[in-house]
Amino acid sequence: MGGKWSGRVSQRTADCVREAARSLGYRPNLAARSLRTGRTRTALLVVPALTNEYFARVHSGAARVAAEHGFGVVVYPSPEGVGPARDPFASARAALDGVIASSMAADALAAIRGTAAGAEALPLVMLDSDPSSPGAAATVNLDIADGMRRTVRHLLSLGHRRIVHVAAAVDSWTFHVRARALAEALADEPGARARTEYAALNVEAGRCAAQRALAAVEDRPTALVCDDDVLAAGALKAARRAGLRVPEDVSVTGFDDLTLASALEPELTTVSLPAEEAGAAGMAALLAVLEGRVPGPRELPVVLRTRGSTG
């Protein structure tokens, strides 16, 4: 039943045993197996929230690869968002083989991994997180900076020079990268300038931030660059309530390419992130670490989807 029959018994005998197990409803006792092997065959995926479709896609990719190798993936939304995550078990080190963290900082996982107690830490794979952070056995990142650069170049090619960055008010590596890339992309463009309006990651906060930006009479922006699609949905509402047409009077861009992006009217120009591929690569990296291999860092390409919200 553990797959080690080859060379010990015949194919016919193995088939007969498996058929008998199926007819009897037999299932291996995974708890007993974990005591023997020292492995639980379970990985923990820590995310800042479960309300964002992006993290559901990350889980989907991780769970697919895990299932192919007889592993399970438990999802844990950190109660503190990107802040320090509490251990969801009596002892995570006894219940898990490793941790995958998406859009989190390595030091936020100390309690879960066991490093706070000074014990041998669970292996950690970080997704969409600072690759220079100590403690990670492997990293898988998206080329977030390139996505923002592509967005800015697209807007500049359309003639936009007055831009407002509707930025997520979250102290996270991925959002810091977006802000730096936007500033760098505008630095060498004559006459181009950007200012920032911060917002919590929800539609209403995005609407309020965009409303503040659009209220400027003499220096009203012609483009709103939003840190994610949810903020962009709020920006579209703000433009409509201000009597402005999108994209004729103001262009709006997002980030993530959630289902929401193509449900809006006009459809949203946004950066498409391969979230499922990132989850799959993260799980594959964790499996490699558990096998004693050292996977190198990976950076996945992103794509700018140009739609009707820019012009």
pLDDT at 177 over 60: yes
Quick one: pLDDT band at residue 120, thresholds 50, 70, 90?
A: confident
Average pLDDT of the chain, as a whole number: 90
Return the pLDDT at 188. Answer: 86
- Could you tell me the two tokens for 266? 């006009």
For position 30, what pLDDT does the model report? 55
Please check whether the domain covering 144-272 is classified as CATH 2.60.40.4070: no
Helix 144-157, helix 173-187: angle, nearest 10: 40
**Separation CA 82–CA 105 (nearest Å):** 7
Contact 85, 79 (CB under 8 A): yes
Helices 275-290 + 53-68 axis angle, to 10? 40
Among 74-88, 146-160, 173-187, 247-261, which stretch is predicted with the lowest mean pLDDT?
74-88
Q: Which tokens go with 170?
A: 């979250």
Would you tell me how many other CB atoms lie within 10 Å of the CB of residue 205?
19
Q: d(Cα 152, Cα 300) in Å, to the nearest integer?
A: 20
Q: For the chain, which residues make up each domain, given as ranges?
A: 1-37, 38-142+276-301, 144-272
Over residues 162-186, mean pLDDT? 96
* Percent of residues, the chain, with pLDDT higher than 70: 93
How far is residue 83's CA from residue 104's CA, in Å, rounded to a whole number?
Answer: 8
pTM exceeding 0.75: yes
pLDDT tens, residue by residue, 200-219:
999 999 999 999 999 987 88
| Selected residue with higher pLDDT from 223 and 106 | 223
Q: Concatenated DSSP letters for 35-61?
A: HHHS---EEEEEES-SSSHHHHHHHHH
For 196, 236, 250, 267, 307, the CA distances from 242, given in Å and listed in that order, are 19, 10, 11, 19, 22
Same fold, 38-142+276-301 and 144-272: yes
The shares of helix, strand and coil residues in the chain, as percent rounded to the nearest 5, are 40, 20, 40
Please tell me the predicted confidence (pLDDT) of residue 119: 56
Q: Token pair for residue 281?
A: 């690569």
Residue 117 has pLDDT above 90, yes or no: no
> Mind listing the pLDDT tens digit for each residue in 12-53?
999 999 899 889 888 765 555 555 555 678 999 999 988 889
Q: What would the two tokens of residue 142 be? A: 């998206």
pLDDT at 61 > cutoff 90: yes
* CATH tag, 38-142+276-301: 3.40.50.2300
Q: Where are the beta strands (DSSP E) in 129-222?
A: 138-142, 162-168, 193-199
